[in-house]
Amino acid sequence: MPLTELLTLFLLLAGAGFFLAGTVGLLRFPDVYTRLHALTKADNVGLGLVVAGLVLQAESWAAMGKLLLIWLLVLLASASVAHLVARTALRKGIRPWKR
């Protein structure tokens, strides 16, 4: 197996791991704020690794650019959404969970 394919394999498996952790976090974390942490992490790191793995196999520069663009768009969206949800939750008086 060529080196780039091996690297892709590694990046995709790592990305899938982060998606799994994101879902597990979403199910296990105790309140809306902590679940937001799980969500933004899966978006950022999980998709980032999957995109990085696919970029190595992209057939053209434009395709590579499109993959990165999709990642950037998702990042921008998830940052805005996380902030909006957290702010709204705070303003509605939902208390953060404490140990």
Partner 1 sequence: MGPGRFCFRTVLFALLWWILTEGAMTSWLIGVPVVVFAVLASGVLLPGTSWSLPGILRFVPFFLWHSLRGGVDVAGRALHPRLPISPGLLKHRWRLPTGLPRVFMANTVSLLPGTLSAELSEEFLHVHVLDQSGAFESELTLIETRVARMFGLKLAADGVSE
Partner 2 sequence: MSMQVLYSAIALFLLLTLIAGLWRVLSGPTPADRMLAAQLFGTTAVASLLLLAQAFGRPHLRDVALVFALLSAVTAVAFVRRTWTAWKDDDAAD
Q: Which long-range contacts (CB under 8 A, 24 or more apart) does 73-76 make?
A: 74/43, 74/47, 75/43, 75/44
Partner that binds at residue 34, options partner 1, partner 2, none, CB closer than 5 to 8 Å by kind: partner 1
In the range 21-60, which residues lie near partner 2 by CB under 8 A? 22-23, 26-27, 31-32, 35-36, 38-39, 42-43, 46-47, 50-51, 54, 57, 59
Compose the 74-93 pattern: x for residues touching partner 1 by CB under 8 A, - for all others.
Answer: -xx-xxx-xx--xx--x---
- C-alpha atoms less than 13 angstroms from C-alpha of 16 in its C-beta half-sphere: 8
φ/ψ of 97, rounded to 5, equals -65, 135
Kindly determine how many residues on this chain lie close enough to bind partner 2 according to the rule CB under 8 A. Answer: 47
Q: Look at the alpha carbons of 74, 41, 4, 6 in this order and tell me if their dihedral is positive or negative.
A: negative
Closest CA to 44 of 87, 6, 75, 81: 75
Binding site for partner 2 (CB under 8 A): 5, 8-9, 12-13, 15-16, 19-20, 22-23, 26-27, 31-32, 35-36, 38-39, 42-43, 46-47, 50-51, 54, 57, 59, 63, 66-67, 69-70, 73-74, 76-78, 80-81, 84-85, 88-89, 92, 94-95
